[in-house]
């Protein structure tokens, strides 16, 4: 008996119309959540989500499902804590299971400077509403008995910040829950519908071109991952985004027994056990920009090696599958959301390695922006024009892994 | 993703031996000095297709090389010193 | 595996043409690290290179050891992800055991050099 | 084949005899055991039914490993995945060997042998990898690279030419109620088991019969398998709709072939070619009516129907909604049926799932074979520090002595006597050539031309965003020759940066990075002159001057500067001389109370002077204005890297600034938040209780409130004040003494 078979969600597909009030490009988590919140919070249901493959085919379905709010700047801590809270209540709100598990997240330090950084993270997080505490070796061992505190004699574990709110949820179920919730309220979702151009009226975006013909829209939202530079350029926008691959792998299924999410600041890997029982391991992004989904052998070797150094029980686990997604990295490791300076065109991008965590809050805030025309306070710091305003959101708490 | 980069000094080596360097191109259409600087500092061409870039062979000769690579499939088209 | 020792020599940075035409002492080993850089061991005097702006610096920044070919190749087969040159003698450089290693391959011996700060790591990884 | 009684292995704690040549699966079947309680066995590494834990490794395909005396096999639990290992799994490091060749042939069946022979006839250097010989290819990667697990470690095969996939085809399994029972085998497996001497009893064949075995052929459509644990009968439906039950001990399944082309698809875009059965198109079996489709995840035909009816039509969505195809066999068994099912329900025949590594499983330990940690460099004095009992830390990318055990004592040695510190980790670079001056003028925000030979100057290094990348010194040696220093953390990056610009501007310069060739020892404290005099340098350079000198008989370049606030001389020398110089200085200064100081004491000393540490006190968007270093930037100079960005950002009101802070009592932790009333205004970047001042001194970020930096603040609940820096010796007379 497979408890993971989706038995509740019902997707209802519609024929495409020629015109919608809002067209959202990209049927991943952010696009679907935006549609869902437009419908549920603002009653805006004349909405189409256009997806070039199938819903969740891009980075939402490829990510490693960590949800956390232990970021490095107050603006980000507040933003992601809101997401953490929305995730925690999403099952109750929708009546659908997203396999949400609050697990706690350990961020390990291996040097004096690392200890200082994790203490500082705990201090900042706590002040802005995301519970994080500094923990010493004894507590670390209690939270995750599998850790080799000597770090294989190479990277001893000296301390950690512990973020009890750290959680995971099944990525596909998040996608389907938002898709179903939006569809139920009348939102159209069109798969296999790639956007090939933006329709401009003067300097305003008024619709999109697709292989099946043009669709006009009162507002167009780019919620694409990986191809945002090309899409934005159709509106004459140049973006501070570079797209990098991010790889991960899972082992076969084993009995549950690895409770927290563990991350190492120096070894740059992270590990958790999925609800299915697979050990899921990831590491930093590939350094070269690329749109290739091809997996590399060096990643498997290096990530496996680093993980095994702190978690020696991994040695004899068998690898099941490795895969690759692509991450749109911004220069300051923070998202880029909101108005673009081009009328009728909104953007949610720069999701780097932190996009999954932000799906609920990203969707909620984008929906509010589109519905009201006013940029909500929570996302105002993340606007595209912050680079020109010399107000970058440099966030060391988010750089490059998960 | 790992692939090999043909270093003109050392020979083909795995990408992990190198450090990536971007070649920034600011369009001529941008003429205001501040706007040119803003573009140069933050904007990325981020092309889906062939792109020119620099790689520093940190594990070998410790020199830069220039190459063209297709970001869709990682094919290397051309290398120069 | 023998203990790695510092190799005393001279680091020269000069125009490629000046290095191409320089004649090194017969007993010296000249490793061309880059078109404009050479490491000569043992140390030599400055006036060999025809470039008034050349940097000629005494250098003991590499630690190294000569290894018999069988041992060297056995180690390289598991620690070196790139193909060794076939001709001898030959100079080659790149990652070996995750470290920036320079190799001088002769018929009956192989010289391993690594920046001195990585000497301990190379010794451990060769052991 | 002889039955040697010494051949025993252990299955779930009991001894089981096997024959020489048996694989582990045959050994189990010979003993009347089924490795996973049931399911159609293929004996070819395709299905998930022979998985077991072998010698501590779960998910091993027992048909792919030779039985060995003493081998310990545990069957996976029938109702749950195998348990997560508890505690450490000791094991020897597995080695990966790199092999170079022209052509790789994967699979040594008939077509593989032919392809290998043909390549060899063409004079190619051929490597063959055959799963039957224990060489299991786990993936094809860009490079191209073929990675295989072999009996003596991993093999990383790098072909110059093509990769030939000759992996053959897998047999299609049955989907019908009862297909979880033991006693069902594929036709090829039936033949192999018979050859191995396993008694199959009465064999009924569905579809293509096995070779070399007497069978009863079952005609018609498969309805179900009957039995309790083992199959006892198979029920078939005739063309006229009537059912017929055929009693049996074994059912042989010959329902067609599906190419083992995962490697071919994984190598898409690389020089990969399939031959033989691996190149065929897949047989698509009839759409199943009932039964388990995916055994790895436990997905039935009803489950497929249920998710399809609720809008999951895409093959990938069906896979994700049921998890069919995501288990150990990665769709080998279920994929033909899911495609058949969706085609039957009116969708087009959809292409197979994306092929991803790994195709044959390996352990994490095997995956990590011959992988190395990024090494942390050590200075030539590493051994000295350890002998002195230093707490060694990774700092700025190097192993450095954090403290020798008495940080405050080390501190006072600098403030009142003399101390030495290992600063070999600083970046050091020589620049020479006609273009050297221009390079530095364009690279640094300071005026370089005015720097006289023999003089040094503190400099910031900026990027094109106008952010501070690093700081250090420019030291002029002569008209066309300079020495540059960088921070320890910046040293690995500095060479890339300088070379990139020199090339981009096409300047005629020579660059030599001496970071790893030169050691550096900082002699600091009011008695530093005295120590240097004893060391043979009676006329040391003036403040911010440098020259060559022989120190204790060792040739050094002596740079006078100060990071600690006291008189300081940095002695740059060959790494070959570091230990000798260090020991001689300690001996010469013994009666002066000399002590070496570690990084922790150094961080205290510099903080009292208000000196920043790039990376600790700066963030990656720190402009000179934000860190109060506008004095180091000469905007009246022609262009330099970062100039236009500073002109641009100067037009925007300042939002925050790094400032000096002080408070009574113990020092708060670095990272402590700074409040103005109930408003958050920033955080502390550096913090120490100053022994000489008797109060806590700090650097920290402050937000401007209504255009002003707040002055009266609260940190860790206590009052604090913004104050100018330096905190100590604000005139700088001690460093210049």
Cβ-Cβ contacts under 8 Å for D464 (sequence gap 6 or more): B37, B40, B41, D641, D642, D644, D645
In a domain, residue A136? The reply is yes
Mean of all residue pLDDT scores within chain A: 96
Cβ pair C120:D378 closer than 8 A:
yes
Domain that holds residue B27: 4-80
pLDDT at C2 over 90: no
Per cent of chain A over pLDDT 70 is: 99
Provide the angle, in degrees to the nearest 10, between the axes of the packed helices A171-184 and A359-372. 30
pLDDT at D347 over 90: no
The span from the CA of B16 to the CA of B11, in Å, is 14
User: What is the DSSP track for D68-103?
Assistant: -TT-EEEEPPSSSPPPPPPS----PPPPEEEEEESE
Within 8 A of D465 by CB-CB distance, chain B residues are 41-42
Structure tokens at A380: 């105002």
Kindly tell me the burial class for residue C3, based on how many C-beta atoms sit within 10 Å of its own C-beta (0-12, 13-18, 19 or more).
Answer: exposed
Nearest by Cα to A32 from A211, A225, A197, A198: A225
**pLDDT, position D92:** 72
Number of H helices, E strands in chain B: 1, 6
**Residue range D409-417: average pLDDT?**
98
Q: Which of residues 236-265 of A touch D (CB under 8 A)?
A: 251-258
Nearest CA in chain B to A302: B16
The span from the CA of D631 to the CA of D640, in Å, is 15
In a domain, residue A90? The reply is no
D132-174 pLDDT tens trace:
899 999 999 988 999 999 999 999 999 999 999 999 999 999 9
Q: A177 and A217 share a domain?
A: yes
- Kindly report the CATH number assigned to the domain that includes residue D698: 2.40.30.110
Cβ distance A171 to D326 under 8 Å? no
Chain mean position to CA A13: 25
Cβ-Cβ contacts under 8 Å for D207 (sequence gap 6 or more): D187, D253, D254, D255, D256
Contacts 24+ apart (CB under 8 A), C96-99: C96/C122, C97/C121, C97/C122, C97/C125, C97/C126, C97/D372, C98/C125, C98/D371, C98/D372, C98/D373, C98/D374, C98/D375, C99/B59, C99/C125, C99/D372, C99/D375
> Measured over all CA atoms, what is the biggest interatomic distance in chain A, rounded to whole angstroms?
64
- Kindly report the CATH number assigned to the domain that includes residue A278: 3.30.9.10
The reply to whether C37 touches chain D by the CB within 8 Å rule is yes
Within 8 A of D374 by CB-CB distance, chain C residues are 98
Within 8 A of D160 by CB-CB distance, chain B residues are none
The reply to whether B47 touches chain D by the CB within 8 Å rule is no
Per cent of chain D over pLDDT 70 is: 99
In a domain, residue A84? The reply is no
Structure tokens at D444: 């640094």
Secondary structure letter of residue A158 according to DSSP: -
End-to-end CA, chain B: 24
**pLDDT, position A401:** 62
Q: D728 and D581 share a domain?
A: no
- Chains with 3+ CB–CB pairs under 8 A to A are B, D
For residue D701, the cross-strand partners are: D658
The span from the CA of A308 to the CA of D93, in Å, is 11
- The count of C-alpha atoms lying within 13 angstroms of the C-alpha of D401, restricted to the half-sphere facing its C-beta, is 30
The span from the CA of D181 to the CA of D358, in Å, is 28
How sure is the predictor about A6, in pLDDT bands with cuts at 50, 70 and 90? very high
Of D255, D275, D303, the residue that ends a domain is D255
CA D78 → CA A2, A278, B40, D10, D180, distances in Å? Answer: 13, 18, 61, 19, 11
Of A329, A350, A384, the residue that ends a domain is A329
Nearest by Cα to D458 from D606, D565, D599, D562: D562
In a domain, residue D710? The reply is yes
Nearest CA in chain D to B17: D374
pLDDT at D482 over 50: yes
Q: D578 and D715 share a domain?
A: no
Cβ distance C89 to C29 under 8 Å? no
Of D75, D108, D134, the residue that ends a domain is D75
Q: D322 and D246 share a domain?
A: no
Q: Return the SS3 of A215.
A: strand
Counting the structural domains of chain B, the total is: 1
- Kindly report the CATH number assigned to the domain that includes residue A208: 3.50.50.60
pLDDT at B80 over 80: no
The reply to whether C14 touches chain D by the CB within 8 Å rule is yes
Chain mean position to CA D661: 40
Q: A247 and A150 share a domain?
A: yes
Provide the angle, in degrees to the nearest 10, between the axes of the packed helices D491-504 and D436-443. 110
The reply to whether B56 touches chain C by the CB within 8 Å rule is no
A305-A311-A312-A314 Cα dihedral, nearest 10 degrees: -80
Domain that holds residue D299: 291-351
Cβ pair D574:C58 closer than 8 A:
yes
The span from the CA of D594 to the CA of D414, in Å, is 9
> How far does D230 lie from chain A, in Å, by closest CA?
20
Kindly tell me the burial class for residue D10, based on how many C-beta atoms sit within 10 Å of its own C-beta (0-12, 13-18, 19 or more).
Answer: middle
Q: Ramachandran region of residue D327, left (φ > 0), alpha (ψ -120 to 50) or beta?
A: beta
D284-341 pLDDT tens trace:
999 999 999 999 999 999 999 999 999 999 999 999 999 999 999 999 899 999 999 9
How sure is the predictor about D1, in pLDDT bands with cuts at 50, 70 and 90? very low
Of B1, B15, B42, the CB nearest to A331: B42
Within 8 A of B34 by CB-CB distance, chain D residues are 644, 647-648, 651
Q: A366 and A296 share a domain?
A: no
Q: A343 and A388 share a domain?
A: yes
The span from the CA of D717 to the CA of C44, in Å, is 65
The span from the CA of D90 to the CA of D70, in Å, is 19
Q: A151 and A195 share a domain?
A: no
Counting the structural domains of chain D, the total is: 5
Cβ distance D168 to D158 under 8 Å? no
- Per DSSP bridges, beta strands D554-561 and D427-432 are unpaired
How sure is the predictor about C1, in pLDDT bands with cuts at 50, 70 and 90? low
Examine residue B80 and say whether the peptide bond preceding it is cis (omega within 30 degrees of 0). Answer: no
Q: A280 and A269 share a domain?
A: yes
Q: A155 and A274 share a domain?
A: yes
In a domain, residue D627? The reply is no
Domain that holds residue A343: 19-63+171-241+331-398
Q: A271 and A320 share a domain?
A: yes
D583-638 pLDDT tens trace:
999 999 999 999 999 999 999 999 999 999 999 999 989 999 999 999 999 999 99
Q: A145 and A255 share a domain?
A: yes
The span from the CA of D329 to the CA of A323, in Å, is 16
Cβ-Cβ contacts under 8 Å for D268 (sequence gap 6 or more): none
- Per DSSP bridges, beta strands A47-50 and A19-25 are parallel
How many other CB atoms are there within 10 angstroms of residue D476's CB atom? 23
The span from the CA of D425 to the CA of D635, in Å, is 31
Q: A177 and A294 share a domain?
A: no
Nearest CA in chain B to D642: B37
Kindly tell me the burial class for residue D151, based on how many C-beta atoms sit within 10 Å of its own C-beta (0-12, 13-18, 19 or more).
Answer: exposed
Nearest by Cα to D494 from D581, D430, D559, D412: D430
pLDDT at B76 over 60: yes
Q: D236 and D297 share a domain?
A: no
Q: Where are the alpha helices (DSSP H) in A205-352?
A: 228-233, 297-310
Q: D12 and D52 share a domain?
A: yes
Of A307, A329, A351, the residue that ends a domain is A329
The reply to whether D156 touches chain A by the CB within 8 Å rule is yes
Q: D411 and D524 share a domain?
A: yes
A255-271 pLDDT tens trace:
999 999 999 989 999 99
Q: Return the SS3 of A341.
A: coil
Chain mean position to CA D233: 53
- Kindly report the CATH number assigned to the domain that includes residue B52: 3.30.2270.10
D662-719 pLDDT tens trace:
999 999 999 999 999 999 999 999 999 999 999 999 999 999 999 999 999 999 999 9
The span from the CA of D557 to the CA of D164, in Å, is 61
In a domain, residue A76? The reply is no
**pLDDT, position A402:** 66
Counting the structural domains of chain A, the total is: 2
Q: D665 and D564 share a domain?
A: no
The reply to whether B58 touches chain A by the CB within 8 Å rule is no
The span from the CA of A299 to the CA of A296, in Å, is 6
> Measured over all CA atoms, what is the biggest interatomic distance in chain D, rounded to whole angstroms?
114
The reply to whether A102 touches chain D by the CB within 8 Å rule is no
Element containing residue A121 per DSSP (H, E): helix A112-127
Q: A231 and A252 share a domain?
A: no
The span from the CA of C8 to the CA of C39, in Å, is 10
**Residue range D45-56: average pLDDT?**
95
Q: A370 and A236 share a domain?
A: yes
Cβ pair A288:B51 closer than 8 A:
no
């Amino acid at each position: 008996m497979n408890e993971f078979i989706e038995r509740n969600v019902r997707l209802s597909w519609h024929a495409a119309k020629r015109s919608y009030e809002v067209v959202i490009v990209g049927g991943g988590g952010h696009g679907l959540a935006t549609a869902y919140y437009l419908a549920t919070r603002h009653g805006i249901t004349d909405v189409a989500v256009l997806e070039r493959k199938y819903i969740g085919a891009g980075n939402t379905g490829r990510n490693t499902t960590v949800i956390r709010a232990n970021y490095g700047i107050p603006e980000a801590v507040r933003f992601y804590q809101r997401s953490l809270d929305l995730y925690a209540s999403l099952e109750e709100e929708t009546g659908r299971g997203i396999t949400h598990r609050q697990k706690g997240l350990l961020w390990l330090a291996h040097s004096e400077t690392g200890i200082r950084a994790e203490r500082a993270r705990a201090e900042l997080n706590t002040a802005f509403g995301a519970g994080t505490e500094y923990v010493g070796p004894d507590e670390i061992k209690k939270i995750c008995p599998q850790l080799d505190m000597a770090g294989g004699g190479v990277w001893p574990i000296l301390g950690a910040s512990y973020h009890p709110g750290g959680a995971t949820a099944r990525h596909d179920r998040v996608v389907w829950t938002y898709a179903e919730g939006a569809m139920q309220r009348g939102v159209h979702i069109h798969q296999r519908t790639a956007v090939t151009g933006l329709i401009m009226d003067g300097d305003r975006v008024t619709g999109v071109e697709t292989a099946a013909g043009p669709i006009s829209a009162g507002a167009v939202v780019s919620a694409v991952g990986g191809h945002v530079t090309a899409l934005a350029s159709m509106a004459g926008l140049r973006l501070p985004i570079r797209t990098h691959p991010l790889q991960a792998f899972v082992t076969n299924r084993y009995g549950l027994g690895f409770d927290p999410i563990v991350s190492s600041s120096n070894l740059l890997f992270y590990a958790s056990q999925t609800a299915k029982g697979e050990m899921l391991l990831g590491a930093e992004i590939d350094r070269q920009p690329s749109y290739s989904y091809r997996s590399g052998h060096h990643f498997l070797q290096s990530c496996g090696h680093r993980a095994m150094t702190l978690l020696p029980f991994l040695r004899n686990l068998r690898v099941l599958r490795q895969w690759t997604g692509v991450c749109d990295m911004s220069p300051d490791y923070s998202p880029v959301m909101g108005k673009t300076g081009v009328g009728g065109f909104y953007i949610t991008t720069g999701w780097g390695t932190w996009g999954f965590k932000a799906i609920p809050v990203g969707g909620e805030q984008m929906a509010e922006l589109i519905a009201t025309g006013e940029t909500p306070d929570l996302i105002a710091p993340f606007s595209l024009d912050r680079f020109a305003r010399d107000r970058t959101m440099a966030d060391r708490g988010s750089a490059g892994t998960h | 993703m790992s692939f090999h980069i043909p270093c003109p000094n050392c020979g083909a080596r795995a990408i992990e031996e190198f450090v990536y360097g971007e070649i920034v191109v600011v369009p001529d259409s941008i003429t205001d000095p501040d706007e040119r600087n803003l573009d140069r500092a933050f904007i990325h061409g981020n092309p889906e297709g062939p792109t020119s870039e620099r790689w520093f062979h940190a594990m070998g000769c410790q020199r830069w090389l220039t190459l063209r690579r297709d970001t869709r499939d990682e094919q290397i088209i051309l290398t120069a010193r | 595996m023998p203990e790695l020792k510092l190799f005393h020599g001279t680091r020269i940075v000069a125009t490629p043409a000046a290095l191409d035409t320089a004649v090194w002492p017969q007993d010296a080993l000249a490793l061309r690290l880059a078109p404009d850089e050479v490491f000569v061991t043992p140390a030599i005097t400055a006036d060999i290179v025809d470039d008034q702006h050349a940097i000629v610096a005494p250098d003991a920044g590499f630690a190294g050891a000569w290894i018999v070919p069988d041992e060297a190749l056995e180690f390289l087969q598991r620690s070196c992800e790139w193909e060794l040159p076939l001709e001898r003698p030959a100079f080659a450089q790149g990652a070996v055991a995750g470290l920036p290693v320079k190799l001088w391959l002769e018929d009956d011996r192989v010289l391993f050099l690594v920046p001195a700060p990585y000497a301990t790591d190379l010794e451990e990884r060769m052991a | 084949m002889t039955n040697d009684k010494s051949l025993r292995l252990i299955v779930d704690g009991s001894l089981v005899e096997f024959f020489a040549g048996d694989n582990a699966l045959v050994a189990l079947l010979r003993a009347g055991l089924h490795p996973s309680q049931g399911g159609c066995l293929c004996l070819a590494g395709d299905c998930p039914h022979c998985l077991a834990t072998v010698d501590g490794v779960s998910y091993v395909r027992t048909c792919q490993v030779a039985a060995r005396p003493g081998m310990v096999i545990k069957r996976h639990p029938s109702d749950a995945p195998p348990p997560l290992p508890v505690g450490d799994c000791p094991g020897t490091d597995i080695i990966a060997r790199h092999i170079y060749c022209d052509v790789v042939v994967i699979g040594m069946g008939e077509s593989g042998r032919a392809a290998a022979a043909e390549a060899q006839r063409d004079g190619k250097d051929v490597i063959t990898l055959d799963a039957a010989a224990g060489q299991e290819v786990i993936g094809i990667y860009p490079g191209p690279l073929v990675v295989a697990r072999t009996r003596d470690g991993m093999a990383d095969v790098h072909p110059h030419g093509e990769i030939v996939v000759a992996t053959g085809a897998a047999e299609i399994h049955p989907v019908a109620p009862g297909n979880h029972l033991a006693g069902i085998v594929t036709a090829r497996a039936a033949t192999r088991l018979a050859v191995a001497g396993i008694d199959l009893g009465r064999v009924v064949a569905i579809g293509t019969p096995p070779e070399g075995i007497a069978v009863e052929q079952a005609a018609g459509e498969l309805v179900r398998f009957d039995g309790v644990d083992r199959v006892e009968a198979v029920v078939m439906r005739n063309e006229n709709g009537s059912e017929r039950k055929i009693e049996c001990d074994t059912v042989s399944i010959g329902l067609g072939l599906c190419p083992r082309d995962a490697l071919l698809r994984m190598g898409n875009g690389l020089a990969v070619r399939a031959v033989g059965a691996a190149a065929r198109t897949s047989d698509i079996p009839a759409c199943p009516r009932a039964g388990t489709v995916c055994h790895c995840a436990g997905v039935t035909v009803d489950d497929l129907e249920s998710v399809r009816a609720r809008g999951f039509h895409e093959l990938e969505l069906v896979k994700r909604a049921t998890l069919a195809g995501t288990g150990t066999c990665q769709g080998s068994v279920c994929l033909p049926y899911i495609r058949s099912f969706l085609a039957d329900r009116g969708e087009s025949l959809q292409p197979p799932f994306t092929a991803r590594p790994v195709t044959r499983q390996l352990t994490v330990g095997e995956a990590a074979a011959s992988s190395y940690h990024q090494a942390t460099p050590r200075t030539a004095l590493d051994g000295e520090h350890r002998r002195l009992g230093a707490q060694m830390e990774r700092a700025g990318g190097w192993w450095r002595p954090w403290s020798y055990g008495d940080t405050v004592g080390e501190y006072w040695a600098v403030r009142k006597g003399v101390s030495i510190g290992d600063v070999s980790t600083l970046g050091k670079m020589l620049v020479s050539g006609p273009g050297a001056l221009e390079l530095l003028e364009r690279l640094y925000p300071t005026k370089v031309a005015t720097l006289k030979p023999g003089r040094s100057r503190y400099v910031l290094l900026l990027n094109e965003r106008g952010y501070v990348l690093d700081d250090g010194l420019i030291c002029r040696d002569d008209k066309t020759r300079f020495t540059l220093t960088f921070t320890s953390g910046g040293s690995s990056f500095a060479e890339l940066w300088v070379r990139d610009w020199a090339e981009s501007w096409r300047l005629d310069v020579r660059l030599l990075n001496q970071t790893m060739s030169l050691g550096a020892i900082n002699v600091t404290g009011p008695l530093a002159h005295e120590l240097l005099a004893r060391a043979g340098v009676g006329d040391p350079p003036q403040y911010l001057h440098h020259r060559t000198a022989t120190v204790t008989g060792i040739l050094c370049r002596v740079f006078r500067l100060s990071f600690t606030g006291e008189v300081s001389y940095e002695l740059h020398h060959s790494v070959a001389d570091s230990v000798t110089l260090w020991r001689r200085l300690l001996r010469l200064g013994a009666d002066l109370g000399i002590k070496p100081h570690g990084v922790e004491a150094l961080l205290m000393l510099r903080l009292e002077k208000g000196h920043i540490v790039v990376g600790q006190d700066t963030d990656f968007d720190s402009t000179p204005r934000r860190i109060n270093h506008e004095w180091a930037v000469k905007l009246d100079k022609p262009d330099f890297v970062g100039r236009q960005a500073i002109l641009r950002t100067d037009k925007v009101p300042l939002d925050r600034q790094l400032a000096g802070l002080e408070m009574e009592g113990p020092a708060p932790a670095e990272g402590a938040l700074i409040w103005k009333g109930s408003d958050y205004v920033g955080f502390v970047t550096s913090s120490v209780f100053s022994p000489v001042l008797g109060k806590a001194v700090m650097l920290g970020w402050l937000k401007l409130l209504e255009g002003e930096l707040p002055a009266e603040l609260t940190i860790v609940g206590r009052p604090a004040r913004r104050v100018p820096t330096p905190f100590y010796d604000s005139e700088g007379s001690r460093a210049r003494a």
